[in-house]
């Protein structure tokens, strides 16, 4: 009996292959009808009309949006493209899993294989359904029948739905066998837990997940006149501009500052943590720890006050001292060369205490007997640190390092903005992605597309680095993996 169902789960991946073939670009999913009327209705010029086609698959739909200047179709087209890409990804993953499954038959039978299949067919179904919705939407929008879905869409729709239902049936039988249950049963059983998550769900939707749709602005020449979702679609123009203008400088600044922060920061934190752990006078230990942790608690605005008062040209403390010795004043706020050092210094000033606490906790966890034994053997303090303390804090160091590497594209926005502000003289040495995007948001509404592109590049690049670091770490030492 069991073998039959396993072959069922495999057999159906043939449908996946069929679906994949229909997803190839040679099949147009959307047909343009009433060509002349449509183009005159949406006001396409003669030259542009030459670039427009009579049929579109989901991969070249965006070129219709671009050449016809119908920005309002941009986001739906992009969503379709993303759905299509995910559907293809999940279908390929499903097929690969089918072949792997025969070799690796552990755990709960076919459940994970079936889940992969479900995912694949569900996405294919949604992609097909969305295509139909897209056609209806754009026809209503233009007030005429300009588009029609081709037969391919309907075949996809029916086949994927049938395959999905079939897999559902297989799955429910498997579940009975392994006493597993699905989402609905889980909601019925633990509905209280789901209720508890509602505020959290709303929060992360509004604050994090829905704004992700906005990365679409990176591909438009955004303006408020056309509204949020109707600005002209421009493809990769923003990115091209960014590469020509600021991208290299921003990447360099953001990454280099972070590398310096991570390097010097960790070294100093470790050194001070070791020193504190070695001190025997209790009040001194407590006080120094308290004082060094204190800067972490003040706002960056206060930091701005401090820096201004110390480095100001006329009344600043440093210039005060310099003139006191008969020297010439230094114009810090107009000399970019000083700021990488100043920013690094104040980053360290604010963050030494934080990291020190982490390392100190690890050091305190080391068994005292190890030190005693070393002492009996005649190891001096430096040897104890080198051979006992440092190896013990290595895991903490690696974890902190990985976290830091993961966020190497994230700038210390508040630090940079409060110290530099809108002082254009210093930008070359101090501009990072976060300050660049912030300035655009607040002062240049016409460059919002460009700013979104910079933000998207930063996010994606950072994300890739995290995934890569995590992959390598997981291979070498799964204990340290981030996720």
Can residue 111 be called a binding residue for another protein (CB under 8 A)? no
Q: Please say which residue, 8 or 421, places its beta carbon nearer to another protein.
A: 421
Q: Which helix (H) or strand (E) holds 304?
A: helix 300-311
- In the chain the first and final C-alpha atoms are separated, in Å, by 38
Our finding on whether 104 is near another protein (CB under 8 A) is: no
Pick the closer one to another protein by CB: 42 or 366: 366
Say how far apart CA 307 and CA 304 lie, in whole Å: 5
DSSP 174-228: HHHHHT---HHHHHHHSHHHHHHHHHHHHHHIIIIIGGGGGGGGGGB---STT-T
Among 34, 63, 251, 277, binds another protein (CB under 8 A): 277
Nearer to another protein, 62 or 352 (CB): 352
Minimum separation from the CB atom of position 251 to another protein (A): 15
Give yes or no for residue 253 binding another protein (CB under 8 A). Answer: no
How far apart (Å, rounded) are the C-alpha atoms in residues 167 and 172?
9
User: Which one of residues 151, 210, 267, 373 is an interface residue with another protein (CB under 8 A)?
Assistant: 210
Restricting to residues 316-335, which ones interact with another protein according to CB under 8 A? 316-317, 319-320, 323
Residues of this chain, 333-352, that bind another protein according to CB under 8 A:
349, 352
Q: What is the dihedral of CA 3, 5, 10, 15, to 10 degrees?
A: 150
Q: Interface with another protein includes 275 (CB under 8 A)?
A: yes
CB of 297 to another protein, least distance (A): 5
**Closest separation in Å from C-beta 112 to another protein:** 14
Spatial contact of 262 and 465, defined as CB atoms under 8 Å apart? no
The interface with another protein within residues 353-392 (CB under 8 A) comprises 353-354, 357-358, 360-361, 363-366, 368, 371-372, 375, 380-382
The piece of 76-84, 94-102, 116-124, 275-283 that touches another protein (CB under 8 A) is: 275-283
CB burial string 199-224: b at 16+ within 10 A, e below: eeeeeeeeeeeeeeebebbbbbbbee
Give the total of residues touching another protein (CB under 8 A): 115
Q: Is 267 in the site for another protein (CB under 8 A)?
A: no
Q: Which stretch, 67-75, 125-133, 149-157, 287-295, contacts another protein (CB under 8 A)?
A: 287-295
């Amino acid at each position: 009996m069991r073998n039959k169902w396993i072959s069922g789960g495999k057999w159906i991946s043939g449908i996946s292959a069929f679906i994949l073939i229909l997803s190839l670009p040679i099949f147009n999913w959307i047909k343009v009808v009433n060509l002349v009327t449509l183009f005159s209705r949406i006001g396409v010029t003669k030259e542009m009309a030459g670039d427009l086609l009579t049929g579109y698959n989901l991969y070249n739909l965006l070129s219709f949006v671009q050449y016809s200047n119908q920005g309002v179709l941009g986001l739906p087209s992009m969503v379709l493209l993303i759905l299509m890409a995910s559907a293809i990804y999940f279908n390929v993953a499903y097929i690969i899993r089918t072949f792997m499954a025969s070799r690796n038959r552990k755990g709960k039978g076919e459940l994970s294989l079936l889940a992969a299949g479900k995912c694949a067919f569900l996405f294919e179904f949604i992609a097909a359904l969305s295509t139909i919705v897209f056609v209806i939407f754009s026809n209503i929008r233009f007030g005429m029948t300009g588009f029609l879905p081709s037969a391919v869409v309907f075949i996809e729709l029916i086949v994927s739905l049938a395959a999905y239902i079939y897999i559902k049936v297989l799955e429910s039988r498997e579940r009975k066998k392994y006493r597993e249950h699905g989402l609905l049963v889980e909601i019925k059983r633990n509905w209280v837990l789901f209720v508890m998550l509602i505020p959290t769900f709303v929060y992360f939707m509004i604050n994090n997940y829905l704004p992700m749709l906005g990365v679409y602005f990176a591909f438009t020449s955004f303006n408020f006149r056309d509204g949020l979702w109707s600005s002209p679609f421009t493809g990769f123009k923003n990115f091209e501009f960014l590469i020509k203008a600021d991208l290299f400088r921003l990447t360099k600044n953001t990454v280099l500052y972070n590398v310096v922060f991570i390097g010097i920061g960790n070294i100093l934190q470790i050194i001070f943590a070791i020193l504190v752990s070695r001190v025997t006078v209790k009040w001194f230990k407590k006080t120094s720890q308290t004082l060094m942790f204190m800067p972490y608690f003040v706002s960056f605005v206060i930091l701005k006050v401090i820096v201004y008062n110390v480095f100001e040209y006329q009344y600043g403390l440093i210039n005060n001292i310099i003139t006191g010795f008969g020297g010439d004043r230094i114009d810090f706020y107009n000399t970019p060369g000083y700021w990488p050092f100043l920013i690094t210094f104040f980053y360290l000033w604010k963050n030494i205490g934080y990291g020190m606490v982490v390392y100190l906790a690890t050091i305190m966890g080391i068994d005292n007997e190890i030190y005693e034994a070393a002492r009996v053997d005649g190891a001096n303090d430096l040897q104890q640190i080198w051979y006992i303390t440092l190896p013990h804090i290595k895991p903490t160091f690696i974890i902190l390092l990985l976290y830091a590497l993961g966020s190497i594209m994230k700038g210390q926005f508040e630090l940079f903005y409060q110290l530099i502000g809108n002082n254009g003289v210093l930008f070359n040495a101090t501009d990072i992605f976060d300050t660049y995007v912030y300035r655009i948001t607040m002062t240049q509404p016409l460059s919002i597309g460009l700013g979104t592109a910079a933000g998207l590049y930063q996010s994606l690049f950072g994300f890739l680095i995290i995934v890569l670091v995590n992959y390598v770490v997981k291979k070498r030492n799964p204990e340290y993996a981030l996720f």
